[in-house]
Amino acid sequence: MRLVADLHLHSHHSRATSPDMDLPGLAHWAKRKGIDLLGTGDFTHPEWFSNLSHHLLPVGEGVYTYGGVRFMFTTEVAATWTHAGHVRRVHFLILAPSADGAARINRELGRIGNLAADGRPMLGTSGEALAATVLGACPTAALIPAHAWTPWYSIFGSQSGFDSLDDALGGAAEHVCAIETGLSSNPPMNWRVSALDHLALVSFSDAHSPSRLGREACVFDLPEPSYPALVAALRARDPQRFLATLEFYPEEGKYHYDGHRACGVVLSPAETSSHRGLCPVCGRPVTVGVMHRVEDLADRPWGYRPPDAIPYRSLVPLAEVLGQALGQGADTKGVTAAYDLLVGRFQSELAILLDLPLPELGQGAPPRVVEAIAKARAGDLEIRPGYDGQYGEIRIPLKEGPHESPLFP
């Protein structure tokens, strides 16, 4: 069974998260996006876990349903500890095999920190100790370093990370089967680091609002929709079962390049080195981004592809594509109306972005919109890289001509 899975997201119990990140909102948007399996997010939060336990119905081993959408128990936790004289802040995605397994994990993590304070709890524990706690409570749980290259809060981040999994996790590194590459990196960047060859490279949205669901996701073909089948596909990195990842263009991510947002300075790794790591405007250290960190740890050239690499496809969110085609902001009423019309006609955003033949799209969308989708699929884009918390800017080079009305015929 083919499944599009987005397993890293947050509920409305996390900071800076939309109130629509509840079960009705998640189920509604999963259908619009074309996502078959969602993580619950935030299962460590007592109120959210109670809500999930009351409303999710089991439909398979470790898989539940609400509103016609499948869910799997997932959460993100932040571990903070001191190592080699530096404070380390690393986020981890946890996949639980069942509601009971999640409950056991919650009981043990509750001994370390206050789980009710936030949907993504801050725990004063090392990565190695966190792994021991989680796996001691639930041996079949999966622990995945989240957004692994982000400067802050990640396992390889320039500000508080490590140079290897072994340094970060000690003996627990052997239990890690995957890393989440994050919005600012993609598989080709990670393929340059041979130390990651034994790990699955996964991509999920880390969504804080429903419209962001599926901006990154994984595609599986499983014998049945179950937790054991999904985790087995990750551990085996079997391209017959783990079909692909769906990727943000990494240049659009908030930390792709180096820079200093306060001064409007964005730098490539080479430019940062030429400035000795300092902002050329104010003289303070710049935030070293993901591309630079990959360069630091890479032992392979650009263009290397492992023989067993899982394929990937890059996408631009449909609202951004429509905004470019219609000459409007992605969050405007006109683009929202156009989005609703297209999704109503073609079933889901991911089908529009990735799968539907262009002639078929042309029967229900104006030529300029079809052209924009074709260019986004082909990667025919101009992107100003993101840096220091600022998203990159994508421009789709479209032919000159009038913008169609967002209210399509």
CA distances from 99 to 34, 40, 49, 137, 202 (A): 25, 11, 9, 13, 23
Mean predicted confidence (pLDDT) in 298-317: 96
- Strand pairing partners for 283? none
- The model scores a pTM over 0.85: yes
Q: What is the set of domains in the chain, with CATH numbers?
A: 2-251 (3.20.20.140), 316-395 (no CATH)
Nearest to 105 by CA among 114, 113, 96: 96
With bands split at pLDDT 50, 70 and 90, how would you rate the model's confidence at 255? very high
Which pLDDT score is estimated for 399? Answer: 84
* Average pLDDT of the chain, as a whole number: 96
pLDDT at 50: 98
Q: What is the mean pLDDT of residues 236-245?
A: 97
Checking if the pLDDT of 404 tops 60, the result is no
- Is residue 148 predicted with pLDDT exceeding 70? yes
Cα distances (angstroms) measured from residue 52 to each of 17, 55, 58, 227, 294: 18, 5, 11, 17, 38
pLDDT number for residue 400: 73
> If you average pLDDT over residues 110-125, what whole number do you get?
97
State pLDDT tens for residues 257-293. 999 999 999 999 999 999 999 999 999 999 999 999 9
Residue 403 has pLDDT above 80, yes or no: no
Identify the three-state secondary structure at position 60. strand
Measured CA to CA in angstroms, residue 17 lies from 12, 41, 47 at distances of: 5, 12, 16
Q: Give the integer Cα–Cα distance in Å for 19 and 22.
A: 7
First to last CA, the chain: 36
